[in-house]
């Protein structure tokens, strides 16, 4: 597929902020709620929200098989709940995860007092020298990853962003900052050498 159209899975959660980022970058984007809409896309963002709910709605909307096919050839980015959904293994059996990337994820793993927190981090894989603001909201933890997975950034020894060939995962919410650099990386740099 030559032209870029970013799909944003819009079943529940923080999807509209991802669309704003695509618009800021001047990239075509659509909300995805049906298999037909998914087929129009070159890229897909699975947003943060509630992974148990999104997983039920994926099934309800008949999207599961289409998503599996999509992830074989095209680019997928799971943020927060989205990272839980694309994982191979999840600590909570109520999530019907999709298994696109060899990671083991624990839901709500940062404990109650720090359910939400922010951190600043220099991420060498994105352009520019400025630190990126990382926003964690009842975030999952990436506990294990296989050889096919490259960590791209960590906080206190925990990997918070990683990828394999075509799947990107982050446990934080780049769409809630004013910084479009990770969106830009996902949309135009996933095919560059890691
Ligand atoms: N705690 C949520 C879940 O487990 C994820 C939170 C988020 O996406 N901000 O689904």
- pLDDT tens for 1-37 read 458 999 999 999 999 999 999 999 999 999 999 999 9
What domains, with CATH codes, occur in the chain? 6-193 (3.40.50.880)
Pocket of ligand 1 (CB under 6 A): 48-51, 80-81, 84, 107-108, 137-138, 140
CA of 110 to the centre of ligand 1 (A): 11
- pLDDT tens for 116-131 read 899 999 999 998 889 9
Coil/strand/helix, residue 50 = coil
Distances (CA, A) of 85 to 109, 179, 189, 192: 15, 24, 23, 25
Q: Is the pLDDT of residue 45 over 60?
A: yes
Q: Is the pLDDT of residue 133 over 90?
A: yes
The reported pLDDT for the residue numbered 94 is 97
């Amino acid at each position: 597929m030559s032209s870029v159209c970013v799909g944003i899975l819009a079943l529940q959660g923080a999807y509209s902020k991802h669309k704003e980022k695509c618009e800021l970058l001047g990239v075509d984007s659509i909300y995805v709620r049906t298999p037909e809409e998914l087929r129009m896309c070159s890229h897909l963002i699975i947003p943060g929200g509630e992974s148990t709910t999104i997983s039920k709605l994926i099934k309800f909307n008949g999207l599961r098989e289409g998503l599996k096919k999509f992830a074989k050839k095209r680019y997928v980015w799971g943020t927060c709940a989205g990272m839980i959904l694309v994982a191979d293994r999840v600590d909570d059996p109520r999530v019907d995860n999709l298994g696109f990337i060899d990671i083991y994820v624990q839901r709500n793993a940062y404990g109650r007092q720090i359910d939400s927190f922010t951190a600043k981090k220099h991420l060498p894989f994105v352009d520019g020298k400025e630190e990126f603001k990382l926003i964690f909201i009842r975030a999952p933890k990436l506990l294990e990853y296989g050889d096919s997975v490259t960590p791209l950034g960590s906080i206190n020894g925990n990997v918070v962003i990683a990828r394999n060939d075509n799947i990107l995962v982050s446990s934080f919410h780049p769409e809630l900052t004013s910084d479009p650099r990770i969106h830009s990386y996902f949309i135009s740099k996933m095919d560059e050498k890691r």
